[in-house]
Structure 1
Amino acid sequence: MTQERVESRPFHELDSLWHAIQGRWTMNFSPVATGLAFSDWLLHLANSPGTQATLWLRFWELAAEALDERSRPPADATELSDRDRSRCRCDDPAWESEPYLSMRVIYEKGCRWWEAYATDVPGMKPRHKAFISFLGREMLAFYSPCNHLWTNPELMRLTAEEGGANLARGGLFWTEDMMRLLGWPVPRDEPALSVGRDLAVTPGEVIYRNRLMELIQYRPTTGEVVDNPVLIIPAWIMKYYILDLSPENSMVKYLVDQGHTVFMVSWKNPGYEDRETDLEDYIELGVMEAVDKIEEVIPGKKLHAAGYCLGGTVLAMAASAMARDGDDRLKSLTLLAAQTDFSEAGELMLFIGHAQLSFLEDIIRFQGYLDTGQMAAAFQMLRAYDLIWGTWVTRYLMGRREPLNDLMTWNADATRMPSRMHCRYLRDLFLNNDFSEGRFRVKGRPVVISDIHEPVFLVATEQDHVAPWTSVYKFHLSSDARSVTFVLTRGGHNAGIVSEPGHPGRRYRIATIREGDRYMPPGHWYHDTPVKEGSWWIDWQRWLLAGSGKKGTPPPMGRFTGTGEGCPAPGRYVFGT
């Protein structure tokens, strides 16, 4: 290390400290990245008189439309987009009377003007245009008449009926939440559902543990089991039991009851001591050591490997490395809402530019990890109408504490992300797209998707704000698999995957592309593939059966090895806070 670099190190640490302090007040947005985007917008707008004239003309046209719309019959709710319905939750008939009708119509027209015209400034960088559009929507959300007492007829009526008791309860809830935010030890209400009692209750044993994960083997419930076991790799952004929620919607229980031998990885919730844990550690200590342990328990049997979200991305990397090295222990690959090409990774890319990423790296390097609250804030910003303003109205203005269901309980059970891993994940995958373009290395050598030849089952969800379905579909562009079965299911990133048989309103599209078939663009695929009613789990289970050997006697439960002692499922790491 040169003398110049040694002397500059303390000042670099000062930068990290300063950015960490800034992040607490900017919701981890880089003020430099935000300033560059606004400057790009303002400078190009100032230098475009024609665009300015168009904006003003369209503004007055929309104002005239708003005045005219007040006299029309109320619009059919089915004609509104999902974003319009969530932006202004105006289902009560009182919204069709004055003055609330005018406020609602003016607000909706203003939002449409911003989205369609205010950011349509020629010359702007596409990233800056998307970022400005996003920030504008977030700021406009504050002005929604639904979010304020005096402009929401439902809230006014509730307040009158309860004599203001709803506001008193809401004020108490707000005070408690602010005290927790400031670090005061305010006790929380015990959740109605708890892990090990109501959630993650499928019987099993932890048969392996290392410093990063536990491996759970689930007990069979059938006299005969499918010849090839199933290994599930969840994301470590949240706890594993999203795939083992309540017994009636547990993917693990469904597979076990269908005669599959199921293994699940449960990741440790990292702390400061794990700050140097790298993305490759999740491949080696997570996926590869799980495969090694399963081979020890069931020797000679190839695995059906399934990965969810970030767990699916890492599984695809591990599968590529195994194929590269001649390791043929995988029978098939299932990727659930998992991206391998990040060139069109959706609205999460708004948080990932060079300036923003450098700022975030300083914050999490100083902490040693990305905190649960920081990660939750990013996802809340993406769905502010529901997760921020919906909570504001329900909790603080209506004074209601809604009980948590199983999915909400899981969603509140957040985990941290090691700083080294998360920085590399964002920079190498999201920003540079190294895996899709053949630059990501495992054990010092590149891994590429085209090395994978096993059949692939690919699942995406229609309303996914984390892994947009067109981004997941891009796996086809790099794949050289014998067949790729693609499923597009109704729902979001979580609800679309937790889609158990019997759940009302479920539907999906499914089609298989085989080796030698011509590529079909996602839009064409969507329109040419018919809709099926029900759960995609059924088709997946049939696909697993078709790619497996004959059924036989259940294998023995594995003997525990690794760190510490064995224990029943759900294990110890799932309780890490």
Structure 2
Amino acid sequence: MSDHQPGAGPSTACVPSLEQMQQWTRSLGQAQQLILEYATEQMARAVPQPPLPSACGALPPAPAHFFQPERLAQVQADFAKESIALWQRFLDGGKGDHTPPPDSPAARADRRFAAPQWTDHPFYDMIRQSYLLIADYLTRLSDTVDGIDPHQKERMRFATQGLVDALAPSNFPLTNPVVFERTMETGGENLVRGLRHMLADMEKGQLSQTDGSAFRVGENIAATPGKVVKETPLYQLIHYAPTTKKVLATPLVIFPPWINRFYILDLSPEKSFVKWAVDQGLSVFMVSWKSADASMKDIDWDDYILRGQIDAIDTVRDLLGVESVHTIGYCVAGTTLAATLALLAARGQADKVASATLFTAQVDFSEAGDLSLFVDDEQLKLVEQLSAPGYLDGRYMAATFNLLRGRDLIWNYVVNNYLLGEDYVPFDLLYWNGDTTNLPATWHRHYLADLYRDNKLAAPGALSIDGTPIDLRKVTTPCYMQAGKEDHIAPPRSVWKVKDHFRGPIRFVLAGSGHIAGVVNPPSKQKYQYWTCEKPAASLDEFVASATETPGSWWPDWIEWVRAVAPETVAAKGARIPGKGKLAAIEDAPGRYVKGDPA
């Protein structure tokens, strides 16, 4: 870089002249204006327009203010003040202090701009500060919009944040100093490698986040020993081999979400919840759902409840000769487990389940978070079009979840792998995240409409399963509820609402991190923390105010709770050994469904 001459282009090795700084300032000011005009136009398009007057009717009432005048004026005044201060800091030709005041948006920490080049060079420092100022302005501007319903306003804010993230200077080669330097050093080889990555992703129709060649299902992930002991057109049932001489008499049946593969709970041995639970003396069974194909186009929620969860529960009860089982439902499978419990209660069969554990699961979708922004009549029509073969390609769902955290799950990889040309780092969790499953079209459409849009599960009797109306208030099964403090898919405030419906004893635990890392947090890692509260709390805020923080994993808290519910133990022999009972082993775990081979 030292051979670049001043004026030949931005370089970390030269100090710009006064004329250069003034030119850059003018250019950046023009860029600010263009971005603001574009973003404001996009926001205007997102606001529903008033209906046109009929040919013979009266004129419609005047629409409400597009922006709240007082808040808009304050936002504009703050932006003008910050912009003038920003330009003034750089108009001295790079000789003064460019550091923004601590309360300025341009002073906020942002790991996209963690490299020292973003602050060492005045050109990039001004780009960084200017972007952060504009980003703050656009986000605050979307909050001042008035005259639209709250759902539409949240969609506007989400879209604005997505636009702001996409326009970050870190995403473009010429405005990212790290990419610019790498390009100069390698003669553009980084961009060629990045192009290869991008073309490969285009070929498979999915953004890569890790090196998939490093993982083999059944060998170094999903490798806990066991046998598949039952297979249906909907699921395989895995029975894991015990590792202790005695096991709890009440077995555990785990229902993972069918939106992804089950082995999020059985990653590498040191991260595997399944292996850990087996080592704690539990007889563990796992449901491995079949990825949908055209033959499953009519599969609905009733099937996942009756021919999925209840069938698996009854199968394990019969196999081991026990009255009841412990259950775990993760995410959508936890929502489904809640409906299963309500159906069993309505039929007088609640004693089939000794306890229910819900991982980041919602039953009341009135505050369901950003995912609900993708659910309206237009989106449902789009889902129906995409599901023409009878199922929804899992890559669409993966893209939706990535959009919820676009900065981390999209643009981060665009920069590292497409622009810098970095090789993908092997990471088992990200490999699982990209191992998508297809969803039955009928189920997916009804799930979005009945639960996310219409919130029917929270309304007693609004939903029926196999002709039986269900009411969550009839559920008295002991329940362990786990929520992730930073969960963007099932926000803790939404998960908490289970307590407003179930009538049995509930232990609520708030775990550090989010939807995945908050769950998959083995004790050996000593990561994060969790919060519990032994006295009654009427709300999540009240819980947080009184909660006790415990460092590390919440898994030990959970196993003690399970043992307290049903402490009896039995010898790990006979039917407790996979394939040794009345159900013969079909194949070794993890089975062919999880490998994408349903034939």
User: Considering only CA atoms, is the larger Rg found in Structure 1 or Structure 2?
Assistant: 2
Cross-structure match for 2:552: 534
Cα deviation for residue 399 of structure 1 reads 0.4
Q: Show the 5 A alignment for 1:242-261.
A: 242-261=264-283
Cross-structure match for 2:137: 113
Q: Show the 5 A alignment for 1:287-298.
A: 287-298=309-320
Cross-structure match for 2:80: 60
- Distance, in Å, in 1 between the alignment partners of 2:49 and 2:78 is 22
Given residue 114 of structure 2, which amino acid in structure 1 is its aligned partner? D
Cross-structure match for 1:337: 360
- Distance, in Å, in 2 between the alignment partners of 1:387 and 1:234 is 22
Structure with larger RCO (C-alpha < 8 A, sep 6+): 1
Q: 1:263 to 1:35 in 2, by over 3 A?
A: farther
- Distance, in Å, in 1 between the alignment partners of 2:493 and 2:85 is 35
Q: 2:412 aligns with which of 390, 394, 398?
A: 390
Please tell me whether the aligned partners of residues 206 and 560 of structure 1 are also in contact (alpha carbons under 8 angstroms). Answer: no
Across the two proteins, how many residue pairs are aligned to each other? 530
Gaps of at least 5 residues in structure 2 are 1-41, 51-61, 91-96
Q: 1:110 to 1:562 in 2, by over 3 A?
A: farther
- Distance, in Å, in 2 between the alignment partners of 1:565 and 1:504 is 37
- Distance, in Å, in 1 between the alignment partners of 2:248 and 2:551 is 27
Q: 1:67 to 1:503 in 2, by over 3 A?
A: farther
What is the percent sequence identity of the aligned residues? 33
Please tell me whether the aligned partners of residues 242 and 407 of structure 1 are also in contact (alpha carbons under 8 angstroms). Answer: yes
Query: Residues 407-434 of structure 1, C-alpha deviation per residue, up to 9 Å, x if partnerless?
Result: 1111111101100000110011111111
Cross-structure match for 2:182: 158
- Distance, in Å, in 1 between the alignment partners of 2:224 and 2:312 is 19
Cross-structure match for 2:528: 506
Cross-structure match for 2:588: 568
Cross-structure match for 2:377: 354
Per mean C-alpha deviation after superposition, the further-off stretch among 49-58 and 133-142 is: 49-58
Q: 1:190 to 1:323 in 2, by over 3 A?
A: closer
Cross-structure match for 1:100: 124
Cα deviation for residue 115 of structure 1 reads 1.5
Cross-structure match for 2:299: 277
Q: 1:522 to 1:554 in 2, by over 3 A?
A: same
Cross-structure match for 1:488: 510
Please tell me whether the aligned partners of residues 211 and 563 of structure 1 are also in contact (alpha carbons under 8 angstroms). Answer: no
Cα deviation for residue 275 of structure 1 reads 0.8
Cα deviation for residue 442 of structure 1 reads 1.2
Cross-structure match for 1:520: 538
Please tell me whether the aligned partners of residues 289 and 594 of structure 2 are also in contact (alpha carbons under 8 angstroms). Answer: yes
Gaps of at least 5 residues in structure 1 are 1-32, 183-187
Cα deviation for residue 80 of structure 1 reads 11
Cross-structure match for 1:37: 46
Q: 1:560 to 1:222 in 2, by over 3 A?
A: closer
Given residue 361 of structure 2, which amino acid in structure 1 is its aligned partner? A
Q: SS of the counterpart of 2:236? A: strand
Cα deviation for residue 166 of structure 1 reads 1.0
- Distance, in Å, in 2 between the alignment partners of 1:474 and 1:167 is 48
Q: 1:220 to 1:189 in 2, by over 3 A?
A: closer
- Distance, in Å, in 1 between the alignment partners of 2:556 and 2:67 is 57
Matched, 1:172 2:206: no
Q: 1:553 to 1:49 in 2, by over 3 A?
A: closer
- Distance, in Å, in 1 between the alignment partners of 2:174 and 2:152 is 35
- Distance, in Å, in 1 between the alignment partners of 2:151 and 2:357 is 32
Cross-structure match for 1:206: 228
Q: SS of the counterpart of 1:552? A: strand
Query: Residues 29-86 of structure 1, C-alpha deviation per residue, up to 9 Å, x if partnerless?
Result: xxxx99973335996555866666555434313323544777464788xx999xx756
- Distance, in Å, in 2 between the alignment partners of 1:465 and 1:452 is 27
Cross-structure match for 2:254: 232
Please tell me whether the aligned partners of residues 62 and 113 of structure 1 are also in contact (alpha carbons under 8 angstroms). Answer: no
Please tell me whether the aligned partners of residues 43 and 142 of structure 2 are also in contact (alpha carbons under 8 angstroms). Answer: no
- Distance, in Å, in 1 between the alignment partners of 2:530 and 2:101 is 29
What TM-score do you get using the length of structure 1 for normalisation? 0.86
Cα deviation for residue 553 of structure 1 reads 0.5
Cross-structure match for 1:368: 390
Matched, 1:142 2:166: yes
Cross-structure match for 1:23: none
Matched, 1:549 2:567: yes
Cα deviation for residue 334 of structure 1 reads 0.4
Matched, 1:122 2:146: yes
Given residue 593 of structure 2, which amino acid in structure 1 is its aligned partner? Y
Q: 1:403 to 1:309 in 2, by over 3 A?
A: same
Matched, 1:326 2:335: no
Given residue 224 of structure 2, which amino acid in structure 1 is its aligned partner? T
Cα deviation for residue 314 of structure 1 reads 0.7
Query: Residues 374-401 of structure 1, C-alpha deviation per residue, up to 9 Å, x if partnerless?
Result: 1111112111111211111011111012
Per mean C-alpha deviation after superposition, the further-off stretch among 548-557 and 567-576 is: 548-557
Please tell me whether the aligned partners of residues 293 and 438 of structure 2 are also in contact (alpha carbons under 8 angstroms). Answer: yes
Please tell me whether the aligned partners of residues 486 and 512 of structure 1 are also in contact (alpha carbons under 8 angstroms). Answer: no
Matched, 1:89 2:112: yes
Q: SS of the counterpart of 2:525? A: coil
Cross-structure match for 2:430: 408
Please tell me whether the aligned partners of residues 211 and 431 of structure 2 are also in contact (alpha carbons under 8 angstroms). Answer: no
Cross-structure match for 1:441: 464
- Distance, in Å, in 1 between the alignment partners of 2:523 and 2:316 is 28
Cross-structure match for 2:6: none
Q: 1:472 to 1:562 in 2, by over 3 A?
A: farther
- Distance, in Å, in 2 between the alignment partners of 1:220 and 1:276 is 37
Cα deviation for residue 298 of structure 1 reads 1.3
Q: 1:250 to 1:75 in 2, by over 3 A?
A: farther
Q: 2:286 aligns with which of 234, 242, 264?
A: 264
Cα deviation for residue 403 of structure 1 reads 2.6
Matched, 1:216 2:262: no
Cα deviation for residue 367 of structure 1 reads 2.9
- Distance, in Å, in 2 between the alignment partners of 1:34 and 1:320 is 43
Q: 1:451 aligns with which of 449, 459, 474?
A: 474
Q: SS of the counterpart of 2:508? A: strand
Cα deviation for residue 120 of structure 1 reads 1.4
- Distance, in Å, in 1 between the alignment partners of 2:310 and 2:86 is 60
- Distance, in Å, in 2 between the alignment partners of 1:85 and 1:336 is 32
Cα deviation for residue 303 of structure 1 reads 1.0
- Distance, in Å, in 1 between the alignment partners of 2:538 and 2:306 is 35
Please tell me whether the aligned partners of residues 346 and 467 of structure 1 are also in contact (alpha carbons under 8 angstroms). Answer: yes
Cα deviation for residue 238 of structure 1 reads 0.2
